[in-house]
């Protein structure tokens, strides 16, 4: 792996990541901590925090394609470098979940609105 690839791993935009995930061409790998993932994540994403990625790479399939994501793109960039060194086909989601949400792509869980005000039934 060259120095430039190490410093600036391949990345993709939220629009392209969404389309690839929708077509099931890739797995979205969310490397944020579990509490961050629970607060909101791309549907169908797999959560393996960067802090435990070394110990959990066996959970990944070497023949699958992955898009690594975090909040802003920094941790997922490090995960991308680490996984590419291990032979995985992975790119970084540029801008992370922040860019995913700005593009208005679906995420779970969605905040529920109480339309009728306090005490209203659904």
Residues recognised as catalytic: 70
Yes or no: say if 69 and 45 are a contact pair by the CB < 8 Å rule. Answer: yes
For residues 114 and 3, what is the distance between their CA atoms, to the nearest angstrom?
52
Yes or no: say if 93 and 17 are a contact pair by the CB < 8 Å rule. Answer: yes
DSSP string, 68-106: EE-SSSHHHHHHHHHHHHTT-EEEEETTHHHHHHHTT--
Query: 89 - beta bridge partners?
Result: 65
Q: Which residue has the tokens 């700005």?
A: 102
């Amino acid at each position: 792996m060259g120095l430039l690839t190490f410093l600036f791993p391949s990345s993709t935009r939220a629009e392209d990541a969404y389309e690839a995930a929708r077509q099931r061409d890739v797995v979205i790998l969310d490397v944020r901590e579990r509490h961050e993932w629970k607060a909101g994540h791309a549907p169908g994403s797999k959560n393996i925090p960067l802090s435990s990625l070394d110990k959990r790479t066996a959970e990944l399939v070497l023949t699958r394609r992955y898009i690594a994501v975090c909040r802003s793109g920094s941790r997922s960039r490090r995960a991308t470098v680490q996984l590419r060194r291990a032979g995985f086909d992975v790119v970084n989601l540029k801008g992370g979940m922040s860019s995913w949400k700005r593009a208005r792509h679906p995420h779970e869980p969605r905040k529920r609105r109480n339309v009728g005000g306090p005490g209203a039934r659904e």
